[in-house]
A and B are shown apart, each in its own frame.
Chain A
Amino acid sequence: MFYPAVHSPKTPPLAVTDEGAAALLRTRLPRWRPGLAAPAHSEVFASGDQASGAGLALALARDALKAAGRSGPAQEDRRQLLWVQDRAAVRLTGRPYRHGLPPELRHRLIHVEAQTPEDALFALEEGLRCRDLAFVLGEIAGNPRALDFTASRRLSLAAEKHGVPLWLVRLEAQPELSSARMRWKVAAAPSAPARWNAAAPGHPAWYAELFRARSHPHGEWSLSDDGNSLAAARPHNSPERAAAPDHVDLVRAVCGRSLAAL
């Protein structure tokens, strides 16, 4: 599809308001959906009383691996995954449990428990430099001084250079300046009833908000992972934005004309 540039001489510039620019930007960038290739460096912000951060990061990483596997040769992926936690993250949400991991990742997990955030960053960077890893998953609690913009830029560059995606889960952290390509906020969502027992918790579900991304517009989804694939739906009753329906995916590209002219 062809989208004209914003300041193309043929099209008169729109009235420059924030909302207009944002709307234009939304229509020009492809909206995120499951099944896209993984960005080099993503951050997932989650609170420390739930495992949604790690759960969503794993689901996104598996989704991206599957997307990469569709285009590549069809053979079993035997590459390892590196899961780095600092001590505070272990204390808050515990360690990965092999029997609860997705079956295809159970035998491929290498776990690193770092004493300090500095050690965790070192382990993340060493992991990103390793060509034999499928992806690197980090969990860092809070906003440690070591994880500033320079450190996150180092991680981004290493991930881009060696092609190993990094999923960094930030527990109980403020979204400060970072060079991550996609930044998510996640919270647990009530799950759909399980298939055989309506009173039981079903497949994991999350409210996910993509609040900053280089190649996608801002958006919110209700994501759920049924063990095979990641499904995205519009959030019905998001806890924060219950009254703000998201109509972004209804709007077609308007090519510079207002909706009233259609």
Chain B
Amino acid sequence: MSIWFAQFAVDRWRLSNGFRRGEGADAAPTVLIAETAHGPRIAAANDAGRAAGARAGMMLADARTLCPAIAVAPSDPAGDLAFLEKLALWAQRWGPWSALDPPDGLVVDVTAVAHLFGGERRLIADARAAIAARDLNARLAIAPTAGAAWALAHYGPDGAILGPDNDAAMRLAELPVAALRLDPDVLTVLRRLGLKRLGELGGVGRDALQRRFRNRKSPSANPLVRMDQLLGRVPEPLLPVVPQDIPLVERRLLEPIRHRELLDQVLRDLAADMTRELEGRGEGARRLELGLWRVDGEVIIRALELSASTRDPAHICRLFGAKLDGVDAGFGIELLRLRASWVEPLALGQRDIESAAESHGTSLNACIDRLTVRLGPQAVRRPVPHASHVPERAQRWQPPLEPEPATQGELAFHQRPLKLLDRPEAIAVLYATPDGYPRSFRWRGAVREVVKVEGPERIAPEWWRERSSARLRDYYRIEDEKGRRYWIYRHGLAGDGRGDLPLWYLHGLYG
């Protein structure tokens, strides 16, 4: 079922000011405007405004020449979207899930639901009554696919029902091509081609349309994809709206605080409240945001990310303590709010008392958190394997407590060095061209004789990722006269047509 709130912005403006339709300020011609670089532009107009000639998309100055008495109110797209989200949750009374159709529509899945209301006609009547009770202006349609429901709600008769037995292509043939949810420039192209109705799209050969739009991959730019979605030939995934309430605790202070000790005390209280809140839900916080509202209206936000979910108030206080050092309290802080914007399930467990941690050592999570807060998240990492045969790409770094990505088993044909240099260092090597063993080499200013050598191990570049001129590498494990073991490679072959004589690099050190 698709619900289109035809006058959504105006309805919301009217409801937030407490007027009925056509009463109070709504009786006068009024437009909602958005500020643009070229001056105020009309975002929406009410019924009286439209009767006076104002249209959405007009400049305000043009509308004033038509109707000098027009009244103006600012539009609020963010507020409209928030209201639409609330409506999407409210609309779940008619189906198990609903999705947003911004800026002013909703899609509700009513598959196998209609019999609960006594049929689709009664379902529509029920929805229309409920929406009218909220004093909103809506058009409804039910169809087997979201695209068809959208088209009928916007361009079909109000309350249209397209059953699964009806011939969708025939019922929808008379609708304009704008019912396909296409971008304006695509609509312009179709209009210039003379295609005005959905039925006419079928009249042209599909191959011709396919050729005309072969570069358009996005559904909203390709009428064929939209047509297939409309008729249910290709799937159209929708993102359902899932309600999520965020644990939030706050303290409003009678007297603004300016001193650090009092701030720490309030923070302890907040952390204790948050712990209780999270305990009740059986969750632990991964990200915490502390907002400090100052008397003069400034808001200071301090965010904290944790490596594993926790609800230990002492731990939270300790980590925030380091972040609150640079806070400028100004004339005082009057409101503190702690929000856990990312939570994960955490079962109830034995409380770890801080004194016990002092004598028995900290847990791994606490240790990682302390290291991360001081050194930064980029400094504490874990190497994980990655599916690549190029040595430096075969290892990636990720946060230490994340699970390892699934990989195939590693082949153990070759011995890899214990340590790898961040960037291979160029060395000068004496060797018999074109592909003899290295005899001696100079690295960091010292010449070393090569006593033992094993190789070459040829590692070709990844042609699907690199340019065609990338050169292969021949790796050698070598040991010099003092027993120091290195991993060096020759970058390319002489005469491979990809540059001059190959250079040598030292890439790794064996233990």
Could you tell me which A residues sit within 8 Å of B by CB distance? 49-52, 54-56, 58-59, 80, 90-91, 93-101, 107, 109-115, 119, 122-123, 126-127, 129-133, 162, 164, 187-191, 193-194, 197, 199-201, 204-205, 225, 239
Contact = CB atoms under 8 A, between A and B. Distances in A.
B453 interface: yes
B404 A99 contact: no
Given A58-B511, A96-B418, A99-B410, A132 B454 contact: no
Contacts of A189: 482-483
B371 A126 contact: yes
B420 A190 contact: no
Q: What 3 A-B pairs have minimum CB-CB distances, sorted nearest first? A: A55-B511, A131-B361, A200-B454
Contacts of B508: 94, 97, 100
Contacts of B481: 190
B361 A100 contact: no
Given A93-B509, A129-B367, A190-B483, A99 B452 contact: no
B53 interface: no
Interface in B368-392: 368, 370-371, 374-375, 378-385, 391
Contact of B394 (A99, A109, A126, A199): A99
A71 to B, nearest CB: 21
A107 B420 contact: no
Contacts of B382: 109-111
B486 to A, nearest CB: 8
A147 B367 CA distance: 22
Contacts of A225: 511
11 contacts: A49-B446, A50-B485, A58-B511, A96-B420, A100-B418, A100-B420, A111-B380, A111-B382, A162-B361, A187-B483, A201-B452
Contact of B509 (A94, A197, A205): A94
Nearest to B481: A190
Contacts of A205: 483
B469 to A, nearest CB: 27
Interface of B: 360-364, 366-368, 370-371, 374-375, 378-385, 391, 394-395, 397, 400, 404, 410, 415-422, 443-444, 446, 451-454, 477-479, 481-485, 508-511
Contacts of B380: 110-112
B444 A49 contact: yes
A51 to B, nearest CB: 4
A242 B397 CA distance: 44
B254 to A, nearest CB: 40
Contacts of A52: 484, 511
Nearest to A107: B404
B259 to A, nearest CB: 28
Chain B CB within 10 A, most for which of A55, A164, A193: A55
Given A111-B397, A113-B381, 17 more contacts: A58-B511, A97-B383, A97-B391, A98-B394, A99-B410, A112-B380, A122-B375, A127-B367, A129-B362, A130-B361, A131-B361, A191-B485, A197-B454, A200-B452, A201-B485, A201-B510, A239-B482
A49 to B, nearest CB: 6
A56 B469 CA distance: 41
Contact of B422 (A95, A109, A197, A204): A95
B485 A129 contact: no
A109 to B, nearest CB: 6
Contacts of A131: 360-363
Contact of B453 (A110, A122, A133, A200): A200
Contacts, number: 175
B367 A100 contact: no
A133 B383 CA distance: 17
Given A95-B422, A107-B404, A190 B511 contact: no
Nearest to B395: A98
A204 B370 contact: no
A114 B420 CA distance: 17
Contacts of A51: 417-419, 509-511
A216 B278 CA distance: 54
Given A126-B367, A132-B364, A199 B417 contact: no
Contacts of A99: 385, 391, 394-395, 410, 416
Nearest to A116: B375
Given A50-B484, A112-B371, A100 B364 contact: no
Chain B CB within 10 A, most for which of A55, A101, A190, A194: A190
Contacts of B453: 199-201
Contacts of B379: 112-115, 119
A160 to B, nearest CB: 12
A204 B510 contact: yes
A59 B511 contact: yes
A98 B391 CA distance: 10
A90 B383 contact: no
B410 A204 contact: no
Contacts of B395: 97-99
Contacts of B416: 97, 99-100
Contact of B511 (A49, A54, A132): A54
Contacts of B479: 190-191, 201
B38 to A, nearest CB: 50
Contact of A50 (B451, B452, B509): B509
Contacts of B443: 49
Given A97-B395, A98-B383, A201-B478, A90 B483 contact: no
Nearest to A56: B511
A100 B371 contact: no
B510 A95 contact: no
Contacts of A119: 374-375, 379
A250 B228 CA distance: 90
Given A49-B444, A119-B374, A93 B419 contact: yes
Contacts of B391: 97, 99
A95 B507 CA distance: 11
A54 B485 CA distance: 13
Nearest to A164: B361
A107 B360 CA distance: 25
